[in-house]
């Protein structure tokens, strides 16, 4: 694991040289354009590079990351990424990916974080209050936080459907892209695809009635 800044540069040079030797056209191809089929919305946690876990190459994932993988409908940075992915890149899949043992989720549950970070994760604190009865039935604290991570992902997917960008896109083509909720288990390296309450969201008018799960 690199500990010094200069190691990062050295590692980059080694990697670039190896790529050039094994795939001479790699960088020429990469420099032309991007057409990724996936938009990945994930947590900023340093243990969460999804390209490693999915064995994807540069150019295959369009990425937005923030603390605790929030989908904030007032975040212009996020909305611009979503707009570009949906309307310019024409991605086929939008993925919200959280993870177990998430520090942001734990901090929100404990309610001890203040300042900008506290403000950012406050929506998760609201989830704690909304699902307090369900969470309290789980005796093991780690399992309770894992469930909160899942609830957080599901809520962020719902927030995606609430954006005007997604609503307009779905109104135009209905199934032009699919939206998924994932949780990564850092203990196993495996991704869990969450079941989404699409029927409930259809009743709210967030999801087109004809859209399949």
| H-state helical runs in the chain | 5-22, 26-30, 50-54, 76-87, 103-110, 115-120, 122-130, 132-136, 141-162, 164-173, 198-203
- pLDDT tens by residue, 9-50: 999 899 899 988 998 888 888 788 788 999 999 999 998 888
CA dist 51 → 48, 55, 162 (Å): 9, 5, 27
All domains of the chain in start order, with CATH: 1-32 (no CATH), 35-203 (3.40.1050.10)
Closest CA relative to residue 81, chosen from 173, 163, 154? 163
Alpha-carbon distance 130 to 19, whole Å?
50
Tokens of 192: 């869990």
At 55-84, the pLDDT tens digits run 998 889 999 999 999 999 999 999 999 999
Query: Sorting pLDDT into bands at 50, 70 and 90, what band is 212?
Result: low
Catalytic positions? 43, 45, 47, 99, 102
Checking 161-165 for CB contacts under 8 A at 24+ apart, the result is 161/201, 161/206, 161/207, 162/73, 162/206, 163/71, 163/73, 163/79, 163/82, 165/79, 165/82, 165/83, 165/86, 165/87
Q: For 145-196, what is each residue's pLDDT tens digit?
A: 999 999 999 999 999 999 999 999 998 886 689 999 999 999 999 999 999 9
Residues 108-128: tens digit of each pLDDT: 999 988 899 999 999 999 999
Which pTM does this prediction carry?
Answer: 0.90
Residues 6+ apart with CB under 8 A from 95: 38, 39, 40, 41, 42, 179, 180, 181, 182
């Amino acid at each position: 694991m690199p500990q010094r800044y200069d190691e990062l540069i050295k590692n980059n040079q080694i990697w670039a040289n190896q790529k050039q030797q094994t795939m001479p056209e790699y960088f020429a191809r990469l420099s032309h354009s991007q057409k990724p089929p996936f938009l990945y919305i994930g947590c900023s946690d340093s243990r969460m590079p999804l390209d490693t876990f999915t064995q994807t190459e540069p150019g295959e994932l369009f990425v937005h990351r923030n603390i605790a993988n929030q989908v904030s409908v007032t975040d212009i940075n996020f909305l611009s990424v979503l707009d570009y992915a949906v309307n310019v890149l024409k991605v086929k899949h939008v993925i919200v990916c959280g993870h177990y043992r998430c520090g942001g989720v734990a901090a929100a549950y404990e309610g001890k974080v203040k300042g900008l970070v506290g403000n950012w994760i406050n929506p998760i604190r609201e989830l704690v209050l909304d699902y307090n009865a369900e969470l309290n039935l789980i005796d093991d604290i780690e399992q309770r936080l894992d469930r909160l991570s899942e609830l957080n992902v599901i809520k962020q997917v719902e927030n995606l459907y609430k954006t005007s960008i997604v609503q307009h896109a779905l109104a135009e083509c209905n199934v032009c892209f699919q939206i998924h909720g994932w949780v990564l288990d850092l203990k196993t390296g495996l991704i869990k695809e969450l079941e989404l309450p699409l029927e409930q969201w259809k009743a709210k008018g967030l999801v087109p009635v004809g859209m399949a799960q």
